[in-house]
Amino acid sequence: MTLGWSAHGAARVRGGFGADPRLPDALPDIMREQIARSEIAEEDAHLAWELARLAALPDPEDHLALLCVLLVALETLARGSTRVALSGIGPRARALLGASPDVIARIDALLDAPPTLFGPPELRRPLVIEDGHLYLERVRAVEERLAERIRTRGGATLGAVDPDAALAMLRERPAHGARGPMVLTDEQEAAVATALRAPFTVISGGPGTGKTSIVVAILRAALSQLALDSSAIALAAPTGKAADRMRRAIEGGLRAVAEPSDGDLALLDALPEPKTLHRLLGWSPSRGAFRHHMGNPLSERLVVVDESSMIDVFLMERLVESLHPQARLVLLGDAEQLPSVAAGAVFRDLGGAAPIASVHLEKSHRMDPTQPEGFNVLHVARALNAGSVPALAPLEGGLPSRPDALGQLEALPPRLEALGGVSLFEPRTTLDREALLDAWYAERVRGPSKMRQRATQTWRHDAGRLLDPEGLAPLFAFMERARLLCVTRSAARPTGVEAINESLHRRFTADARASVGAALLLAGEPVLVHRNDYERGLFNGDQGMVLFTAEEGESPRPSAVFRREDGFVAHPIEAVRGAIELGYATTVHKAQGSEHDAVCLLLPDTDSPRLLTREIVYTAVTRARRSVLIVGARDLLQRAAARRIERSTGMIDRLR
């Protein structure tokens, strides 16, 4: 589902409605306007129109009622649910389309005696009525196939393993951190043992519960107990950014093993490259199909997927279908984060659902009084996830004076870097917000002179691969350590991604003494991929930077540079301009799978009930390791914490 309409598409809809003699004046202007502003994709609206227009119905007014039902079903899917309760269709038609009481009465009558477009599941009609809910048939079919494949996989018999022996090995050869050996907790050991035994495992936990440590332990145990080599293991995540973070975390975890075994060394030497799920499954944009499916399954015997809360029902069904019959699937994530953009809440639904083995991690390793910043971030995140906003407390030394409180920031500090834990700054005027952006720009964008020099120098490359990765690494580390997060995208809102990016771009342009419009992107500016480019290996959410690059004997030219597993790659700006945008700020949705030292969350000036939710603020806060600055009204924060995303699906019922 896509948001918004093109002007041409909206005109076609307005022109199309009313063109049929059975609907001469049945669709008032207010309904047309509501449809044009809704989340229903243009092509779906036209399909709904054609189905309603061509349906064999005795009364012209029934065509209008059917159209309302179809549009409500499509809008429900766009909002993330796979079904809508029959009792809710009339009220939603009134709220979405301004349907009159007479039309709602027609809708109720239509649902009581549905026409041939409707039917029970076995008839495979376009609209399916089941258990008091209405489904689009294709969506219900995906949900049912996924449930059936999970049930089948849950009953699979895999080779015998000895989890106790694997856990003994992990205890003997633990990873080491700053405070000594990092021995797995009981619940972490239970997660590892479950993943070794079960064909399908769901591991859910909040920030700091050690999910990365569990992944490393599962991989180490798999080599010793499942007789696998690294080529039989697949690592994946929904986005390129999450996959890259997964790679770095696993590599760090393996290097932290003080006395590595031969298997540990072999794994580190030939660690499977974490891929996006689309890459793993072999998505072909030209064919519009995946290479892997039931008839051509993945060869790997262990598939581990991180950030699984981001996976929608359609992609999850494809993943489970594509598994080898003897493969183990391990899904990790935080069920309390934002659900997938597309329909479903699969990861949340699967936790604890039979026949899936699931482990919920409770103990946080950030609960350490010697690390007060992370300690406070975790406290606030847990409170928000429980639906409440912690009490405000003054700051002491940059931290909330109480570890369980939200810091109250009356005025911006001389340095944002001095802040730790979670603080709230309530701008009184637009000047306050501009002052915040000035401070953010000075500290987080412009940075020290050494970073500015690196950002404006010319970097040599050979066939697009940068020749000095060690010199570039500090520049990218500086860019990645802090992030501005927004709830909305729109430039119409001063706190939207587009407005913030443009505001910081103006500051950068003035600082570089460049004329506005001289270049859309300047050397040193951050960029974000907003559209997958499979040919160049760029994926939605990848973060990069504009830099001058040159091959031997060539003049410097601006390029978009991105971090890769083995260094950095450069692409000429003109070649990727259509896939990238300014990346000073991003939406919370796109920030999933990332982690930063510091995060600043910009709340909108006015409430946005659909977007400003508990999951949004929880996800934003948990992107930070040590510092979160929430900018906005406390009242809006309280409303968000009290407002939970509700998605209606049939997955739990199907798995019983």
In this prediction, residue 470 carries a pLDDT of 92
Whether residue 113 is found in the same domain as residue 67: yes
630 closest CA partner among 426, 424, 434:
424
How far are the Cα atoms of 256, 568, 620 from residue 274, in angstroms, in the given order? 19, 17, 24
Whether residue 173 is found in the same domain as residue 278: yes
User: What's the average model confidence in pLDDT over 514-541?
Assistant: 79
Whether residue 350 is found in the same domain as residue 380: no
Whether residue 54 is found in the same domain as residue 163: no
Whether the pLDDT of residue 31 is over 50: the answer is no
Whether the pLDDT of residue 266 is over 80: the answer is yes
Whether residue 204 is found in the same domain as residue 321: yes
In this prediction, residue 290 carries a pLDDT of 93
Determine which of 80-94, 177-191, 249-263, 561-575 has the lowest per-residue pLDDT on average: 177-191
For residue 618, give both structure tokens.
């929880």
In this prediction, residue 20 carries a pLDDT of 54
- Domain assignment present for residue 91? The answer is yes
Residue 372's SS3 state is: helix
How far are the Cα atoms of 311, 401, 565 from residue 421, in angstroms, in the given order? 30, 10, 31
Average pLDDT across the chain, whole number: 87
Q: Which CATH number belongs to the domain containing residue 265 in this structure? A: 3.40.50.300
Whether residue 393 is found in the same domain as residue 339: no
Whether residue 482 is found in the same domain as residue 334: no
Whole domain around residue 199: which residue ranges? 156-366
Unique residue bearing structure tokens 């917000």? 433
In this prediction, residue 28 carries a pLDDT of 42
What pLDDT digit, counting tens, does each position of 299-325 carry? 999 999 999 999 999 999 999 999 999
Beta bridge partners, 557, equal: 549
Q: At 202, phi and psi to the nearest 5?
A: -115, 125
In terms of pLDDT, which residue wins out, 449 or 129?
A: 129
Whether residue 296 is found in the same domain as residue 379: no
User: What's the average model confidence in pLDDT over 377-385?
Assistant: 92
For residue 642, give both structure tokens.
């009290």
- Domain assignment present for residue 650? The answer is no
Whether residue 539 is found in the same domain as residue 573: yes
**% of residues, the chain, pLDDT over 70:** 91
**Could you tell me how far CA 398 lies from the centroid of its own chain?**
30
User: What's the average model confidence in pLDDT over 140-146?
Assistant: 95
Whether residue 212 is found in the same domain as residue 228: yes
What pLDDT digit, counting tens, does each position of 602-622 carry? 999 999 888 899 999 999 999
Distance in angstroms (rounded) separating the CA atoms of residues 296 and 618: 39
- Domain assignment present for residue 3? The answer is no
**% of residues, the chain, pLDDT over 90:** 53
- Domain assignment present for residue 39? The answer is yes
For residue 35, give both structure tokens.
């449809």
DSSP 8-34: HHHHHHHHHTT-STTSSS-S-HHHHHH
Give the count of domains, the chain: 4
User: What's the average model confidence in pLDDT over 424-435?
Assistant: 94
Whether residue 305 is found in the same domain as residue 257: yes
In this prediction, residue 226 carries a pLDDT of 83
What pLDDT digit, counting tens, does each position of 65-90 carry? 888 899 899 889 988 999 999 999 99
* Kind plus residue range of the DSSP H or E element containing 400: strand 399-400
What pLDDT digit, counting tens, does each position of 326-374 carry? 999 999 999 888 888 889 899 999 987 777 889 999 887 755 556 889 8
Whether residue 255 is found in the same domain as residue 291: yes
Omega before 526 cis (within 30°)? Answer: no
Contact 525, 505 (CB under 8 A): yes
User: What's the average model confidence in pLDDT over 24-35?
Assistant: 48
Q: Which of 82, 106, 135 is at the close of a domain?
A: 135
User: pTM of the prediction?
Assistant: 0.84
Distance in angstroms (rounded) separating the CA atoms of residues 620 and 587: 9
Distance in angstroms (rounded) separating the CA atoms of residues 511 and 446: 9
In this prediction, residue 368 carries a pLDDT of 59
